[in-house]
Amino acid sequence: MEITGAELIKAAALLGAGLCMGIGAIGPAVGEGYAAGRALEGIARQPELAGLLTRTMLLGQAVSETTGIYSLVIALLLIFAV
């Protein structure tokens, strides 16, 4: 069975999508974990600010998640558009 060029491109795109999602998830994971840890420290020090800290933490996490979302979009492009 011969492997044609189109199949090779498809395989490379799927491999690239997997790599893109896997490597791209490292950054947001570390960043969000760091933000959550720091917010926890803040809440432990000042429990009365828990609501504000949680809200700000979620906002910052959602923003730092953007890089992960970029890799998701690239992975989707590689799967569906190639």
Partner 1 sequence: MFDKALKAFEIPTIDGVREVNQVSFKLGDFNITLNLTTLIMTWITMAILILLAYLGTRRLERFPSRGQSFVELIIDAFDRLIADTMGPVGRRYFSLITTLFFFILISNWLSIIPILKNPTADLNTTLGLGIMVFIIAQGSGVISKGVGGYLKGFFEPLFIAPFAFFINIAGEVGKTLSHSFRLFGNIFGGGLIMLIIFAIPELLQTAWCRLFGEFIGRSLYWGFLWPFCKILATVILNAFFCIFVGSLQAFVFTILAMAYITIARD
Does 62 contact partner 1 by CB under 8 A?
Answer: yes
Which pair of tokens denotes residue 14? 């799927």
Does 4 contact partner 1 by CB under 8 A?
Answer: no
CB of 2 to partner 1, least distance (A): 26
CB of 66 to partner 1, least distance (A): 5
Which residues lie closer than 8 Å to 44 by C-beta, 6 or more apart? none
3-state secondary structure of 40: helix
Which pair of tokens denotes residue 62? 């959602």
State the residues that interact with partner 1 by CB under 8 A: 58-59, 62-63, 65-66, 69-70, 72-73, 76, 80
